């Protein structure tokens, strides 16, 4: 089942923060975050395997609330290079495929 991702799009000025949310109607095994810049292939950001786990990647971090079946991606002090489309992906078990949400288009302007 496809993750429900929000917002669909967001525009930020450099230095502002943003949060992208993803939710599932089923229990989750793992959460994955990818970023795709225009005209390029998606690139891995991070994976979260345990409920409540938080991981960070420079000024980008994520949380995973296993009980609520939700994950959030936090972008702090955004930079122009953060622009792109962010996808969350869920796996329901170790044997099921990684299914992505529809994506959030993030635009950072000067």
Partner 1 sequence: GAGVSQSPSNKVTEKGKDVELRCDPISGHTALYWYRQSLGQGLEFLIYFQGNSAPDKSGLPSDRFSAERTGGSVSTLTIQRTQQEDSAVYLCASSLRGANVLTFGAGSRLTVL
- Residues within the interface to partner 1 (CB under 8 A): 2, 5, 29-30, 32, 34, 40-44, 47, 49, 87, 89, 91, 94-103
Considering the complex, state which of residue 17 and residue 44 has its C-beta at the smaller distance from partner 1: 44
Instruction: Name residue, tokens 């939710």.
Output: 23
Considering the complex, state which of residue 7 and residue 15 has its C-beta at the smaller distance from partner 1: 7
Task: Name which of 83, 80, 99 is nearest 91 in CA terms.
Answer: 99
Question: Nearest approach, Cβ of 81 to partner 1 (angstroms)?
Answer: 19
Question: Nearest approach, Cβ of 98 to partner 1 (angstroms)?
Answer: 7
Question: Nearest approach, Cβ of 13 to partner 1 (angstroms)?
Answer: 24
- In angstroms, the CA 33 to CA 42 distance is 10
Residue 103 near residue 9, CB atoms below 8 Å:
no
Considering the complex, state which of residue 44 and residue 56 has its C-beta at the smaller distance from partner 1: 44
Q: What is the dihedral of CA 75, 79, 84, 89, to 10 degrees?
A: -20
């Amino acid at each position: 089942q496809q993750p429900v991702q929000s917002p669909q799009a967001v525009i930020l000025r450099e230095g502002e923060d943003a949060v992208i949310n993803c939710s599932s109607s089923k229990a989750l095994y793992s959460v994955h975050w990818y970023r795709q810049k225009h005209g390029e292939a998606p690139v891995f950001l991070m994976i979260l395997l345990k409920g409540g786990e938080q991981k960070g990647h420079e000024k980008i971090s994520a949380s995973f609330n296993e009980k609520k079946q939700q994950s959030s991606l936090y972008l702090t002090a955004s930079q122009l290079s953060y622009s792109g489309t962010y996808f969350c992906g869920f796996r329901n078990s170790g044997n099921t495929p990684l299914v992505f949400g529809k994506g959030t288009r993030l635009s950072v302007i000067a």
